[in-house]
Every structure is written in C-alpha cells, then in structure tokens.
Amino acid sequence: MRKLYEKPKKLWDKPRIEEESKLLEEYGLRNMRELWRMKTLLRKIRRDARSLLSKAGAAAELGEKQLVTRIKKFLVRGEATLDGVLALSTKDILERRLQTVVCRRGLANSMRQSRQFITHGHIQLNGQKVTAPSYLVSFEEETQIGWYGKPIVLAEKPEAAEEKSEEKSEGKEEKEENTEVAKEKVAEKEAANEEAQPTPVAAIA
C-alpha cells in the first residue's frame, strides 16, 4: 500500500499551516491528510502538463490531448489548455469533491453536514450510494446527485431564520403604524364633522 499523498517539505512552515487551516475549515475536511491528497493529485496533473510543454512530436500531442480530455471531465469547464492546467489552484480541485458539490447544490446546510450525509449513506450518484466525501465529481455526474432513499428535510439556516424574524417584526411594526394612522384619520374626520354641525339657537322664553 503506497501513500496517496505527499507531505510538505517544511512541516512547520507557519504561512502554509495558516493557509491549510483555513481550507480545512472552509471545506469541512477531516484532517491535513485529506488536503494533502488533493494537493498531490493536482501537483501530478501540473507536473504532467509541464512535462508535455517541454516536449514536441506526435507523442506529446497525444499526451496533451489525453490530459486535456481528463481535465475537462472534472476540473475545467469549456476550453482547456496546458497553460490553463498550470493555473489551477487547490480550491479548484476541492470544489469538485462530492462533499463540496452536495453542499453547493443545497442538499446540506454546511460542509460538515454534507460530510455526515455522505458517510451515513444518504447520498446517491446515478442511483448508486456513495459514502466517500473525497470522490471527485465529473461535470456530467453533477446533475445525477440526489438523496439515496427517503429525502431529508433540512432545517432552516440560522441566517434565513433571522431574516424571517426581522421581516415578521418589520411587518408587525408597519401594521401597528398603519393602525395608528387609521385611528388618527378617523379622529380627524369626527372632529371635522362636529365643527360642520350648526350651533343650536337658545329658545326664547
């Protein structure tokens, strides 16, 4: 069994640790090894691209075609070139993980919840249950993601609940304000009616 990831050359490099910690939090990764695995995969793809750029001939053209076809499958939409491959970042490949795609498609409220749904067997891909959060989803497979079995009803996000509460409060205040305005108009109308009535003349004894 060989390792699927390469460790950084400087394990205690502060800027790199801070950057990787942010990615771990943003994408709900379990540990650094998951991130290093994605980085290693991207590094190999970029290494192949650099190697092909330095070569010429039919073999290089065939290799470029195969690499571009592979990249267009799950990393780059539309036209893809070797220069574009070299410009790919770690976030580009993290966005293609099943955990991320499930969250982005609204099947989970957070990355951690998305991971939980996948590992517990609630997510299917083209009719097949998938329990690996790190599975790289192709663009064709993206539309085939759904619930495996009974759909789960998601609770409202805290932000949405707060917005609804604010809207309800604003609506209540507006209603109260309208009621006060209506009362004032009624009072003004009654006062106007009283002024318009003729003053009764005292009876002569």
User: pLDDT by residue (tens digit) across 39-70?
Assistant: 999 999 999 999 998 888 888 889 989 998 88
Q: How many domains does the chain have?
A: 3
Residue 118 placed within a domain: yes
Last residue of a domain, one of 77, 93, 109: 93
Q: Decide if 136 contacts 97 (C-beta within 8 A).
A: yes
Domain range for 7 is: 1-93
Residue 203 placed within a domain: no
Do 160 and 147 share a structural domain? no
pLDDT of residue 106: 92
pTM of the prediction? 0.73
- Among 117, 115, 138, smallest CA distance to 126 is for 138
Q: Which two tokens stand for residue 164?
A: 């609804």
Helix (H, G, I), strand (E, B) or coil at 123: strand
Q: Decide if 114 contacts 28 (C-beta within 8 A).
A: yes
Domain containing residue 123: CATH number: 3.10.290.10
Share of the chain above pLDDT 70, in %: 75
Q: Residues 6 or more apart from 39 whose CB is under 8 A from it?
A: 5, 6, 90
**In the block, which residue shows the tokens 């959060």?**
133
Do 69 and 1 share a structural domain? yes
Residue 202 placed within a domain: no
Do 134 and 79 share a structural domain? no
Residue 201 placed within a domain: no
- CA separation for the pair 105, 137 (Å, rounded): 13
Residue 200 placed within a domain: no
Do 85 and 1 share a structural domain? yes
Spans in the chain with pLDDT lower than 50: 200-205
Residue 13 placed within a domain: yes
Residue 47 placed within a domain: yes
Greatest Cα pair distance in the chain: 130
Do 136 and 55 share a structural domain? no
Do 47 and 62 share a structural domain? yes
